Structures are given as structure tokens and as C-alpha cells.
Amino acid sequence: MSPSVPLQEMIRAIRSARTQCEERGVIQRECAAIRAQFRQADNGGRSHNLAKLLYVHMLGYPAHFGQMECVRMIASPRYSEKRVGYLGAMMLLDEKQDASLLITNSIKNDLSNSNQYIQSLALCTLACMGSAEMCRDLAPEIDRLLRASNSYIKKKAALCAVHIVRKVHDLGELFTKAARSLLTEKNHGVVHGAVVLITELCERNSETLERFRKTVPDLVQIMKGLVISGYSPDHDVAGISDPFLQVRILRLLRILGRNNEAASDAMNDLLAQVATNTDSTKTVGNAVLYETVLTVLDIKSESGLRVLAVNILGRFLLNNDRNIRYIAMTSLQKIVGTDHNAVQRHRGTIVDCLKDQDASVKRRALELSLALVSASNIRSMMKELLSFLSSCPPELRSQTASGIFNAAERYAPSQRWHIDTILHVLTTAGGDVRDETVPNLIQLITNTSELHCYTVHKLYRALLSDISQQPLVQVACWCIGEYGDLLLTGECQETEPVQVTEDYVLDVLETVLQSHMSSPSTRGFALTATMKLSTRITENVDRIRSIVSIYGSCIDVELQQRAVEYNALFKKYDHMRAAVLERMPVIEKNSQGHTNGETIKESQTVKVKPGEPQQPANQVQANAAFYTVFSIVATVTVYEKDGVTVTLSCEKQSDSGLTVTLTASNSTESDIRGFTLQAAVPKSVQLHMKAPSGDSLPARGTAKLKTRADMSEVYETKVSPVTS
Amino acid sequence: MQFMLLFSRQGKLRLQKWYVPLSDKEKKKITRELVQTVLARKPKMCSFLEWRDLKIVYKRYASLYFCCAIEDQDNELITLEIIHRYVELLDKYFGSVCELDIIFNFEKAYFILDEFLLGGEAQETSKKNVLKAIEQADLLQENIDFQMRLFAGMVVPNMASESSGLFQN
């Protein structure tokens, strides 16, 4: 075909432009000329002009004024003009443009043209950009062509039908019969088209799927023909006969065999044959094997065949070609749940892939490795995962860290190992862990009382070397605040003890407080820890006093508030200080699961003494304390004065919900009328009080008044003192 | 297949075939981002990547990147074969194809693609048949062009071998 000279000249002119500006100039001139020519009468150069416009469009310049020209060209009797016109339609007219409807009639006419190449243009365009309306209009035509035309047209009509079905699902019914009969044709292109069409129909409609199950024997026959047949030059690719058709048939068999014993049985032998006989030295063979494996694993295949499939994937994992390794891991990921043991056998290779250069392969290997962690391999797997964490690409760090935490939580062989692992992650990838890590770790540490000494030593040492990783620093500060006294004893069973004085410990905390690397919440941790140490050390309490009073005028409001309160604790409520700053009890896992790090660090056990008035300023009451109290004590008397007694009993409803029943009784001689009970809770708790059973308390405790209240936790970031 | 893009090492688009309806703006955005992503990859890396919610299969032939976006259920390895088949077709047609051929004859590259893929699926699995169809279509175009030029008095009929061949089927 001779090249279009005007087009090539223009392309040359555009390419020789030296700057973007020059190029724009050339294109503007050309477009103006093209527009002028469009307006003129037919001059034999129309197809060249449209081709020029399409080139300009591909460079990214606007070309919408060519849309009508496409419509006109499609209607032209000349083949060269039709060809470019249809090309233009596919490039400029998508279904969202109104002008696309205008070509429906032309397409309809061209579909019945005596020349198959013109029919072909129409079919191609319809299949590429046909809107739902156009599809509805032209579906009967396509059906007709599916039945009565030559193979060249039939194969195109089949794929056009696929597009129609994708756009208008109901029209699937129309093509079912024709699709069935196309399977018996000899022409590969037609059979391929038929298989694609049947696949589409079966995926959309389960009834159609049932009907097409009957074709399984035919499909098996066709596959056998392809696999066993001798060399067929027309369709051979590196020794495989028509791999494109093979892959499509295997995919259709997968859909037909899924959840169906009979169909799966019928294809069992064939799949075994393909799996064993296909040459896997080139990509094309592996493409067929890959599809075979996917099919075997998805249908109800017998166990021998499944093992064969997983072994093929295992071989893929060892392939030099990175693409094949990637594919293998993607497939193994799909079956790691169902065929866990089979996949475990390849764990070594998968873990090796963590060291691959390619980020996609690394990601796959990570997901698969995390899925393969179990109680028996946790130690070795964790070693690999931790070493991966220190060198993995930044986009994978967060996922790796969470994966490691989950695995550690489920399979930790010992508490110490668990704590060590988490600390390792925090030192390596502290910036990429999720928010709940800090409270979770604190909870874990608190509950592992036998390791308090060990933990505080490790964290102290970690702080000495690096105070930039915020989660680690926060946990370390909290720990030192709680267990700092263990540091000062100079003894430790599990690890080398440090020889420090109280000043050294306070130095470390002060460094964190003053460092510009510390976030506001970290500084809060440090301040509270410093305060807690006032009851655990003996000599330097004055130093703590002065630190606390300095921060009373800190710009950060949160720190200031804390400092002021701690100051008050020193000055006015010194007698309560020891009790308030006592060691934390074991935290119940359920009730703490969702609280934010901020509130956990505030946890102080408040002893609720019955009858004592609440003091506002010195009670930094937190959710933890709230729940701790209520989960330990079942019924408590909260008010007893002038003969009126109010008791409170709690019942846990859920992880974050509690039902409290308040019972009031009157032991005086006269009835009390107009009795109301009011309750207030911290902002972090939601309270729903139900109506009381009455408002009068009869004398001498003859009857009691009950009020129920439901409390649930609200996730808040700040804790405010109880004020009533 | 949802779309196929051909672009050079400098990120210049040489061919774009879209099988899903998207606005011009969206197409430009996708093209720009995808081209950037693919060009950033190193030579020995995997040919497959996950981008947005699509599977992308790409392969580099000399100075051109061939990039396809396929559906979840599509076979990545066979897509590589499809790309390879298309390159073979171009090669056979242009005779040792290079990027310049595709630049200056872009409409033919499209015509060849449209004889190989239809609606995003392979329509003809025999290389020979695709090439034969293109050849015939080209002849049809030449035939009519020749007849037109003849009619307009621009060409004197010549019985030399080059022109006589046109009237034979």
C-alpha cells in the first residue's frame, strides 16, 4: 500500500520542530488547513486529511472537529475513505459522544456489504466502541452473520457478539444457539471466537452455564487434537499448537468444571495430559501450563492432579525467568488457605524470593511468607522477616511490620521472644508502625510481670542510643516511669544490669522532654514518667519537683496542664501522691483493646472510697481506671448519707460496653419523694440512662429504686478530669 | 484487554488502542501516569505490575514499550505472547520494523492491530492469515485508488508487470 505522502510530509514537519512552541505553530497551521479542506467538496484527498488529524490527535492536541468528517467518510463508497473514517471513529468517537449514534446506520449497511473487508471494518468498529444502544440495534445483524457467512466474518462476528453481551447482558440469550454450533467448525479463528463468546455467556448467566456444560466433551476433544496433533505450521508457536486457543479452552473448562463433579471428572485426564506433556522451556509453554494449573486448582479435581499442579508451581518458583516466579507466587497465594501443607513445602524458595531485586516479586513473596508462618516455623521465619524489614523498599515496610506483629501475637514461643521481636521492629521501622502498637506493647509488657526488669533494661539501653523513633521512645518512657526502680537496683536476672544513678535516669527522660525530635505526645509520656519516678526514687525528688514546675508554663497546652496538675499533686495532695502514682495493675486485654495510647498512659488506679466527695483537680481519671475499677468490683456502695444508700453494680455487655445498675434504698422513717439520680462521666465514655423505676424511696428500705445505665466507650484523644 | 499503549523511551505515545469507553481527559491521565510508572522500572524487572486495580503487562522491543492492561482473569503469560505476535506481524509487514516505521505509518499499525485483535481479544491465531487479510485489504485500497486515478486521467494504463498484477485476484 503506497504511503500517504501528505501525511508523511506533515509528520516530518512536526518532528523537525525544535521547540514545543514551534511544534504547536506547525500543528495549528495544519489543523487550519485540514478544517478548510473538510469544508470543501470532495477532492480525493479526504482520507489523507483525516489521517493527518488523527496523528495530531495522538500527539495530544484537540481533534473534535474531525468527528463529523469521520461520520461522512464512513458513509463514503470508497474503501480507502471508509477505512480511515472507521479508524477515526474508533479514535475520536467513543460512546460518550453524541455523534457516535450517527454512524449506526452506516455500520448497519456495511455489515451487509458484499465485500468482506468492508464488513470487517464495521464489525471491528462496533466491537471497539459500540454503545449499548448501537449494540441493541445491531445485535440481530450480528446473529445473522454468526450463522451464515464465511469464516473470516464469523470469527469477527463472534467477538463482536462478546462486546455486545458485555454492554447489554440480556442479549446473551440471542447468541447462545449460534455460539454452540460454531464450536464444531474447523477454522481456528472461528473456534477461538466461539470459545471466548461461550466463556462470556457462561460468566454472565448461570443457566446458560448449565446448558453449556454439555460441551465439555467437545472441548476436551478439541484440546486433545491440539495437544497430540503433529506439527501444524499455521498455528505453531515454539512447538505448541495454537497456544492462544489452548489457553482459552482451558479457561472455559475451568468455568464449566467449577463446583461440578461430573464435568471435572470429564476433563481430568485431559488436564493431566496437558500438564505432563507441555514443553516448559519457553514462555508460551508456561502460559499453557499456568492456565492448566489455574483450572486444576479451581475445579473439583482429584488429589493426584492437585499435587501435580502444585508441583508445577513449585517448579515455576525455581525458574530463572522472574515473570514465571511472580506468576507462581500469585497462584500459590490463592491456594495457601486450602492447600496449606502443599505450599509449605516450597517455603524455602518463597523466602528466598524476599531477596529478589524486583519490588513486585518482593511484595508477592512477603504476602506469601506471612501466610505461611506457623507455630512450628515461627522462629526461623521471623529471622527472615526481620532481616527483610531492615532492607525492604519503603512502601512495603508498614505491611511487613503489621504482618510481623500479627504473626508474633499468634505464635510467640515465649513472652520474652515476643517483647524482643516487637522491640526489634520498633528500632528498625519505628516510623511505619500503626498507632495501636504503643498501647498494645504497653499492655503486653505490663502483663509480663516476670520480665519487667529485663524489659526496662532493654528499653533504657535503646533510649540511650536513639531517641528518634517515636513509638519506641514512648514505650521506653512509660516503662522507665513504671519500673524505673528496677533499673536502680543494679540487678537483673535476664540481662546484664546497668549501673546507673537516679540522675542518669532522670537525664534520659529530660533529654526526651527537651529534644526537638520528640513529638508532643512523646513529651507527654516523658513528663508523666518523670512524675511517676517521684515515688520510686528516694534522693532526687526535688529535681523532679523543679522539672514539673518549669513545665507549668510550657507553651504546649497538654504539657502545661499535666505539669500544673502534677505540681498540685506535690503541693496540696502530697498525701495522695503515692497512691495515685502506684504501679499499674494487670490490664484486662478486652477492655483495653481499643483505647488510644494517650489514655493508656494516663491510667492511674483511683481508689473510689465510698462517701468521699470527689476532688476535681487532682484526679486525672482515665478510661482504664474506670474500667479497671468496675471490672474488679462487682457491687460497690457509692453513697451513704442520711439514711440513703446507693449501690452500683456492673455487668459487662461487650468489649467496650457496660451496664450499670444503680440501686437506691432508704432506711429512714419517712418516705423520700422526688428522688432523682444524676450521673456524669468523662468525655471518653458515652452514657445512656434509662428511666428509673420510680422517683420515691419508701421508708425503712421496704422497696428499692433501680436505675439502669448503659455505658460505652467513645474513642477520644483527650482525657479530661472528672468534674462532678 | 482494556487498552494497549505503545510509547518510546522518551515517553512519546506512538499508538493507543482503547477498548473501554473513557473520556479524553481520563485517557490522557492514565497514559501519563502509566508511562511514567513503566519508564521508571529497571531493565531486568518483572514484566507484570499491579497498577490501580489493573494488571499491566509490558515488554520493551528496542526503543518501543508495548504496554497492555488486562483484566483480573486474563493470563499474563499469554498476553506477553500476544504482544510478541503483534510485533512479529509488524515486522513481517514492514520488513524489519523500527520505531520510525510506526511513526510514519501509524494508520497501518492500527490496521494490522485491528486484523489481529477485535474488541480486546485475539481474533485470528494464525500469523499467515492475518498478514494475508491485510494484504488483501491493502490491494482493495490500491485497486480503487488506481481506478480513481485512472478515471481522473492522471495515470496512463501501463501493461508493465507492476500494474497488471493489480487486476488479478
CB contact under 8 Å between A124 and B22, yes or no, is: no
Q: Name the one residue in this structure whose C-alpha cell is 453449556.
A: A212
Q: Which three cell numbers stand for residue A241?
A: 499448537
Is A513 in contact with A477 (CB distance < 8 Å)?
no
pLDDT in tens, A102-146: 899 999 999 999 999 999 999 999 999 999 999 999 999 999 999
SS3 for B79? helix
Q: What is the 3-state secondary structure (H, E, C) of A471-496?
A: HHHHHHHHHHHHHHHHHHCCCCCCCC
Q: Give CA–CA dist A425/A437, Å, rounded.
A: 11
What is the pLDDT confidence band of residue A552, given thresholds at 50, 70 and 90? Answer: confident
* Mutation for testing the A interface, residue in B86, B126, B162 having most A CBs under 10 Å: B126
Return the axis-axis angle of helices A132-147 and A151-167, rounded to nearest 10°. Answer: 150
Q: Is B61 on the interface with A (CB under 8 A)?
A: no
Q: Give CA–CA dist A196/A159, Å, rounded.
A: 7
* Residue-level pLDDT at A605: 35
* Residue-level pLDDT at A641: 75
Summarize the confidence of residues A442-470 as an average pLDDT.
86
Q: What mean pLDDT value characterizes chain A?
A: 83
* Residue-level pLDDT at A147: 92
CB contact under 8 Å between B82 and A11, yes or no, is: no
Give the minimum alpha-carbon distance from B100 to chain A in angstroms, rounded to a whole number.
11
Summarize the confidence of residues A188-212 as an average pLDDT.
94
Q: Is B47 on the interface with A (CB under 8 A)?
A: yes
Write the CB contacts of A465 (distance below 8 Å, at least 6 apart in sequence): none
Neighbour tally for B164: CB within 10 Å: 11
The single-letter DSSP state of residue A672 is B
* Residue-level pLDDT at A74: 92
* Residue-level pLDDT at B151: 62
Q: Is the dihedral of CA A314, A315, A320, A326 positive or negative?
A: negative
- Residues of chain B in contact with residue A152, where contact means CB-CB under 8 angstroms, are 133
Look at B129 and A44; give whichever has higher pLDDT. B129
Write the CB contacts of A176 (distance below 8 Å, at least 6 apart in sequence): A201, A208, A211
Distances (CA, A) of A403 to A433, A434, B19: 10, 11, 39
Summarize the confidence of residues A146-175 as an average pLDDT.
93
Write the CB contacts of A29 (distance below 8 Å, at least 6 apart in sequence): none
Q: What is the pTM of this model?
A: 0.74
Q: Give CA–CA dist B69/B73, Å, rounded.
A: 12
Strand partners, A659: A651, A710
Is A476 in contact with A464 (CB distance < 8 Å)?
no
pLDDT in tens, B16-33: 999 999 988 999 999 999
Residue A576, pLDDT > 90, answer no
* Residue-level pLDDT at A541: 85
CB contact under 8 Å between B21 and A1, yes or no, is: no
Summarize the confidence of residues A171-175 as an average pLDDT.
92
* Residue-level pLDDT at A395: 85
* Residue-level pLDDT at A615: 37
Residue A346, pLDDT > 50, answer yes
* Residue-level pLDDT at A631: 45
- Per DSSP, helices labelled H in A502-650 are 502-514, 520-533, 541-550, 557-571, 574-580, 589-592, 597-601, 623-632
Residue A256, pLDDT > 50, answer yes
What is the pLDDT confidence band of residue A437, given thresholds at 50, 70 and 90? Answer: confident
Q: Is B25 on the interface with A (CB under 8 A)?
A: no
Nearest alpha carbon to residue A459 among A449, A469, A450: A469
Summarize the confidence of residues A237-255 as an average pLDDT.
94
For the ranges A535-544, A685-694, B57-66, B143-152, the lowest mean pLDDT is seen at B143-152
* Residue-level pLDDT at A426: 87
Q: Give CA–CA dist A633/A264, Å, rounded.
A: 62
Residue B168, pLDDT > 60, answer no
Q: What is the ipTM of this complex?
A: 0.87
Is A681 in contact with A703 (CB distance < 8 Å)?
no
Q: Give CA–CA dist A387/A405, Å, rounded.
A: 15
Q: What mean pLDDT value characterizes chain B?
A: 87
Give the minimum alpha-carbon distance from B34 to chain A in angstroms, rounded to a whole number.
16
Write the CB contacts of A315 (distance below 8 Å, at least 6 apart in sequence): A280
Q: Is the dihedral of CA A81, A83, A86, A87 positive or negative?
A: negative
